Amino acid sequence: MSRDRSTGRVDETTDVAIVGGGICGLTAAIALERRGWEPTVYEAATEYRPVGAGILLQTNALLVLDRLGVAERVRETGVPLDDSAIRSPDDRVLKRFDLDRVERDEFCYGFVAIHRADLQRILLDDLDATVRTGMECEAVIDADRPIARFADGTRISPDVLVGADGIRSAVRDAVAPEIEPRTLDGVCYRAIVDVDLPERHRDRGLEVWGEGSYTGGAPLGDGRFYWFATVSEATAADLNGPHEVVAAFRERFGAFPEPIPLVVDALALDDVFATGLADLPALDRWSRGSVVLAGDAAHGMLPFAGQGAAQSIEDALALVDAIARHADPAAAFKAYEDDRKARADGIRAEARRLGRLGTVQSPLGARLRNLAVGLVPDALFRRFRRRRASRTSLPDGAVGDAGSGS
Ligand SMILES: Cc1cc2nc3c(=O)[nH]c(=O)nc-3n(C[C@H](O)[C@H](O)[C@H](O)COP(=O)(O)OP(=O)(O)OC[C@H]3O[C@@H](n4cnc5c(N)ncnc54)[C@H](O)[C@@H]3O)c2cc1C
């Protein structure tokens, strides 16, 4: 398939290549297929391995997946949460996500906790497109007539190249070469834990905002719990090997609200893995010539708003809709950026603010933070969540209340 390069117009015969077969790349490929395209996905990993972590998909992600016809499978495979709460270490509820009252009632979807490998499998199963694994893109030359060069020597020259290759994107250099990820003083540990949870914890998620650490998670069904915790880089640097890591968390979280002590007691040494915390500064642009960025490549964000994947999923549908509506790639990418950039950048900035709050190290600072969070009126918190869901980028579809802001 090839576009007539002399006219530069985009239609279903346009050759679209997606670099990066993560959540964003696979969702974009599904959205393209729904519109009659036959994209090719180029993924660096040599195979899709089960990743030892879960993910929380919030309402906006599920609304987009619903539009693509995969939300039901995600909901059946994962665990739809009854509610979720932010708690203090002494078990006070600082804020409750009463999902029935806002998300489920007004938008039909609450939050779903799912194993990342299950989500990946659902997206891959839905796809007819070719996913070429073991294809690490090294560079993209000439954004106007892009040539992507891969580590194995392969070169491709698609009509449109989508960079969905994550926060350390190689494609991004063709669009915004000056951009580098910025770190936050924090390391996030994650694990999927086999644990016999008491009934009352089998359908609710939690976060506990402690002094210098932040922990929580959600049940994934079948006796599994997705657990995470952050500590400062200095604390992480003092922990030598998995024994010390697990021992430190058992000590630190032993008196935290249930089910955290139960979960950290059941941590298997080999299953805990660490990720340094980083995000991107705002990019001036998301596209150049025929190259366009999506997902973490465009707006990698800290995990504290639980929105990175959701925003990537929103990008995928919005980008494909824009490509389908505009024959001229420049017009398509402008429409996509107009739709997406302010919202994604706003949420990325919010995630950084939450990250600073979540990783406060001083005991006094942490107590003041928890006091302040507890004082936010529930009505205001609901309004904020209503706005988050109602502003989902759903081409051609309004979603409930149209509040202001992101
Ligand atoms: C600790 C933590 C917890 C999180 N929790 C949540 C959550 O609960 N909810 C939520 O919505 N978000 C969460 N996120 C964010 C979410 O994981 C990301 O925003 C999301 O995975 C972004 O998807 P993506 O496809 O854009 O990028 P990625 O998931 O990074 O996928 C990029 C893909 O591109 C491939 N790739 C990379 N480089 C190349 C290359 N050069 N050539 C070819 N392929 C390449 C990679 O192998 C990968 O498959 C969390 C993030 C972290 C770090």
Instruction: Give pLDDT, residue 12.
Output: 77
Nearest ligand 1 atom to the CA of 167 is 30
User: Torsions phi, psi of 353, nearest 5?
Assistant: -60, -45
The CA 304 to ligand 1 mean position distance, Å, reads: 14
Which residue, 263, 275, 268, 264, is CA-closest to 236? Answer: 275
What is the rounded CA–CA span in Å between residue 280 and residue 352?
10
Calpha distance 110→62 (Å, rounded): 8
Question: pLDDT (tens digit, 9 = 90+) per residue, 59-72?
Answer: 999 999 999 999 99
Closest protein CA for atom 52 of ligand 1? 303
56 CA to middle of ligand 1, Å? 13
What predicted TM-score, i.e. pTM, was given to this entire model? 0.95
Q: Output the residue whose Cα is nearest ligand 1's atom 20.
A: 309
Chain-wide mean pLDDT for the chain? 93
* Any ligand 1 atom below 6 A from CB of 345: no
Residue 218 phi, psi (nearest 5) = -160, 150
Q: What percentage of the chain's residues is helix, strand, coil (to nearest 5)? A: 40, 25, 35
Question: What is the CA(367)–ligand 1 centre distance, in A?
Answer: 32
- Give the nearest ligand 1 atom to 61 CA: 11
Confidence class of residue 396 from pLDDT cuts 50, 70 and 90? confident
pLDDT, one tens digit per residue, over 16-69 is 999 999 999 999 999 999 999 999 999 999 998 877 799 999 999 999 999 999
CA of 24 to the centre of ligand 1 (A): 8
The CB of 295 under 6 Å from ligand 1? The reply is: yes
pLDDT in tens, 210-266: 988 899 999 999 999 999 999 999 999 999 999 999 999 999 999 999 999 999 999
DSSP symbols for 299-347: H---GGGS-HHHHHHHHHHHHHHHHHH-SSHHHHHHHHHHHHHHHHHHH
When pLDDT is cut at 50, 70 and 90, the band that residue 6 belongs to is low
Q: What average pLDDT score do residues 88-116 get?
A: 95
Q: For residue range 338-358, what is the model confidence (pLDDT) as tens digits?
A: 999 999 999 999 999 999 998
Q: How far is the C-alpha of 174 from the C-alpha of 210, rounded, in Å?
A: 41
Q: What is the pLDDT of residue 406?
A: 37
Per-residue confidence at 5, pLDDT binned at 50, 70, 90? Answer: low
Q: Could you tell me the pLDDT band of residue 14, with boundaries at 50, 70 and 90?
A: confident
Residue 317 — φ and ψ, nearest 5°? -70, -45
Tell me the CA–centroid distance for residue 275 and ligand 1, in Å. 12
